[in-house]
């Protein structure tokens, strides 16, 4: 049955973690497949634009690619009268006058256009500059994947810093598809890129491991989710290792534990081979089908 929730025809599920290496991609890819197999068309968006790898596990077919570009100011030094208006208009310190030359710092520029609009002599024009790309393709419908799964990848160009811009472009591509469920594989951490990925998510699945570092970073991620007012549930990966009481923390904070995936060398081996745990591990279907059921319950409770 396609997803239908309390007053919702579509659902956006973000999968995130306070730090890298907790199994976030494992959960996002297998969960997306579990949702499709339960009957809801899914768009999986790989927002981990610095190092995206969801597509390596899912192998979407007939991939299409589009560049992500931003408008950057370009200064004609001949036409410039060094009035300083552009520098004063820039709220981000991205345009400065150094040694009688107006300089633009693309890594600081937010592409707001303010400098161009205040330059009376018209010395500033804007040019498109590439920062990354979005790739998208579909797992073909089959008996195993009746609802279909679109995989959208945001990929930042090497050396560029405009991760949130690439993430927004990838999410925009997913929005056009109008799938019943969108799964966002967010970058780890709580910085700008994570915020761009979580914005407008209906529910957040935080993946953690039961170690002191895992718990510390989980606490930061929970704080961010609360600031953004997103209902949150936790998946404990490699349960049984680390010895840290994540379950106790979740109980204290009234956060539901959606699943506990035990430490199992077979899971690590399947993942390392680029395989799908839902297909290759005897408990895979139960784990990820169970997470989807728990997410649905969480949504029912949060929005009723």
Residue ranges binding ligand SF4 (CB under 6 A):
73, 75, 80-86, 89-90, 92, 94-95, 102, 104, 109-115, 118-119, 121, 123-124
Q: How far is the CB of 35 from ligand SF4 (least distance, A)?
A: 39
- Residues 266, 26 contacting (CB under 8 angstroms): no
Q: By C-beta, is 113 or 212 nearer to ligand SF4?
A: 113
Distance CA 266, CA 220 (A): 30
Residue 111's nearest CA partner among 168, 30, 151, 50 is 168
Q: How far is the CB of 87 from ligand SF4 (least distance, A)?
A: 7
Q: By C-beta, is 160 or 185 nearer to ligand SF4?
A: 160
Q: By C-beta, is 40 or 116 nearer to ligand SF4?
A: 116
Distance CA 273, CA 252 (A): 37
Q: How far is the CB of 107 from ligand SF4 (least distance, A)?
A: 11
Distance CA 99, CA 102 (A): 8
Structure letter (DSSP) for residue 284: H
Structure letter (DSSP) for residue 140: P
Structure letter (DSSP) for residue 5: B
Q: How far is the CB of 167 from ligand SF4 (least distance, A)?
A: 19
Tokens of 287: 């784990």
Q: By C-beta, is 115 or 204 nearer to ligand SF4?
A: 115
Q: By C-beta, is 56 or 74 nearer to ligand SF4?
A: 74
Q: How far is the CB of 126 from ligand SF4 (least distance, A)?
A: 8
CA 1, distance to chain mean position in Å, is 26
Q: Tell me how far apart the 2 most distant CA atoms of the chain are, in Å.
A: 71
Distance CA 28, CA 77 (A): 49
Q: How far is the CB of 80 from ligand SF4 (least distance, A)?
A: 3
Q: By C-beta, is 79 or 191 nearer to ligand SF4?
A: 79
């Amino acid at each position: 049955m396609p997803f239908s929730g309390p007053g919702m025809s579509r659902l956006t599920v973000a999968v995130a973690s306070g730090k890298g290496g907790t199994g976030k991609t494992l959960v996002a890819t297998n969960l997306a497949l579990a949702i499709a197999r339960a009957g809801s068309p899914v768009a999986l968006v790989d927002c981990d634009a610095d190092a995206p790898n969801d597509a390596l596990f899912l192998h979407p077919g007939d991939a299409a690619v589009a560049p992500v570009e931003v408008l950057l100011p370009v200064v004609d030094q001949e036409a410039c009268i060094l009035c300083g208006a552009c520098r004063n208009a820039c709220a981000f310190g991205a345009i400065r006058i150094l040694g009688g030359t107006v300089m633009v710092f693309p890594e600081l520029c937010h592409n707001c256009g303010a400098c161009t609009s205040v330059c009376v002599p018209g010395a500033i024009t804007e040019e498109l500059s590439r920062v990354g790309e979005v790739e998208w393709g579909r797992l073909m419908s089959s008996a195993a994947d009746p609802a279909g799964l679109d995989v959208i990848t945001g990929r930042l160009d090497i050396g560029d810093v405009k991760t949130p811009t690439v993430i927004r472009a990838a999410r925009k591509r997913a929005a056009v598809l109008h799938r019943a469920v969108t799964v966002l594989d967010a970058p780890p951490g709580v910085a700008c890129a994570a915020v761009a990925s979580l914005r407008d998510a209906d529910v957040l699945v935080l993946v953690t491991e039961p170690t002191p570092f895992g718990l510390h970073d989980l606490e930061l991620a929970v704080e961010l989710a609360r600031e953004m007012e997103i209902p949150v549930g936790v998946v404990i990966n490699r349960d049984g290792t680390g010895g840290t009481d994540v379950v106790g923390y979740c109980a204290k904070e009234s956060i539901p534990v959606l699943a506990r995936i035990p430490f199992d060398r077979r899971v690590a081996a399947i993942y390392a081979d680029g395989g799908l745990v839902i297909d290759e591990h005897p408990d895979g279907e139960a784990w990820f089908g169970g997470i989807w059921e728990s997410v649905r319950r969480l949504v029912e409770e949060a929005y009723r």
